[in-house]
Amino acid sequence: MKKKDLLIDKARDLGLLFTENNVKMIGQDAAYSIQINSREALWVFGDTFVGTFDETGKRIIEQMPNNTGLICQSKDAASGLTDFAYLTNASGELRQLIPLLPDENPEVYRIWAMHGCCINNKVYLFYIRVRILPEGQWPYKFDVAGSGLAVANYPELIFRRLEENNSAILWQKDEPLFGVAVLPVKQDGLVYVYGSYYKDWNHYCALARVPFDSLEYISYYEYLISPKPEWSVDRTKAISIMEGMPTEMSVSYNAYLGCYLAIHSLETTGKIVGRTAPHPWGPWSDPVVLWTPKVSLRNPLVYNGPLIYAGKEHPELAKENGRIIYLTCVEFEEYYPRLIEVTLK
């Protein structure tokens, strides 16, 4: 089938997600989704506020798990994702999915869930570890300290962090943060794992691949070192396949377009963009603006204008073979995932 150009017919804002819940969740970001089966998807989040609102609408935060999740059974995003259940402990409280280790001081370190995949009822969930800085102001009061991979059986979803050489940090802070997007390709028998890194005031994307049955073995990962393509187990030779994408994105195969589709926030411009490619490794097109959120800034912090981030697609929600797709993004002060419907030409 001939590849279609990425052109937008129309787009609309469907509002904030998961605001009505029974676990006192009053704010969360990231919002990755991982398809578990034909009926269910696991959604995962970063720092999650648990608490209430006062009479002025100000958040009263009682707890803040580093990462949380829910199981969503809603398939018709246009009607709202209302059929969901948060993952809780025995007391019915939100539980942290990926645990801190005994030597990780919760006052210093946080574990933020990224993307992953489900293979044979085993969920692989990548994460980044961040260190909270003693001084500064949010949203810039942290330093990335590396990334790793956690694994759990479904439906229990009790995650354990994998280790290599007695360390749960599998990719160090000066290496790409692998797991910002994960793409299983059945016909290849491979999982493609995208990684973000920051250099010279810009974000770049590297790519790794690994066989389905070797996801837990980091020594089996191969890294793209040439657009030919050529691969190597030497991660230091990894090349960039695109730029301008921060530490969150999505990559999926879009049957309507007849190619792969990457979606991400364009740095801190507020724009959500898409790129297309014939292969998971590229070559990737220039970015096309899919949506520019319209959010007013209520309490200026340390940036100019609303800080909008975490743009990504949720391909399990797509309709008409991918002609209608669903994206989310987060505005820092609003601090809920916002759902966007985009219809392609």
Q: What angle do CA 160, 161, 167 make, to 5 degrees?
A: 145
pLDDT at position 89: 97
75 burial (CB, 10 Å; 0-12 / 13-18 / 19+) is middle
Cβ atoms within 10 A of the Cβ of 292, count? 13
DSSP 171-217: B-TTS-EEEEEEEEETTTTEEEEEEEEEETTEEEEEEEEEEGGGTT-
177 burial (CB, 10 Å; 0-12 / 13-18 / 19+) is buried
Cβ atoms within 10 A of the Cβ of 88, count? 14
Return the closest-CA partner of residue 315 out of 218, 181, 135. 181
pLDDT at position 232: 98
Report how far residue 259's alpha carbon sits from residue 1's, in angstroms, rounded to the nearest whole number. Answer: 10
pLDDT at position 303: 56
Report how far residue 251's alpha carbon sits from residue 196's, in angstroms, rounded to the nearest whole number. Answer: 13
Domain positions in the chain are 8-344
pLDDT at position 283: 98
Residues 6+ apart with CB under 8 A from 197: 175, 176, 177, 203, 204, 206
CATH fold group of domain 8-344: Tachylectin-2; Chain A (2.115.10)
Strand segments, DSSP code E, in 217-293 are 222-226, 230-232, 242-243, 250-254, 259-265, 272-277, 288-291
pTM, 2 dp: 0.96
Q: What is the pLDDT along the chain (345 residues), one digit of tens a residue?
A: 678 999 999 999 999 999 999 999 999 999 999 999 999 999 999 999 999 999 998 999 999 999 999 999 999 999 999 999 999 999 999 999 999 999 999 999 999 999 999 999 999 999 999 999 988 777 778 899 999 999 999 999 999 999 999 999 999 999 999 999 999 999 999 999 999 999 998 999 999 999 999 999 999 999 999 999 999 999 999 999 999 998 999 999 999 999 999 999 999 888 999 999 999 999 999 999 999 988 765 555 555 667 899 999 999 999 999 999 999 999 988 999 999 999 999
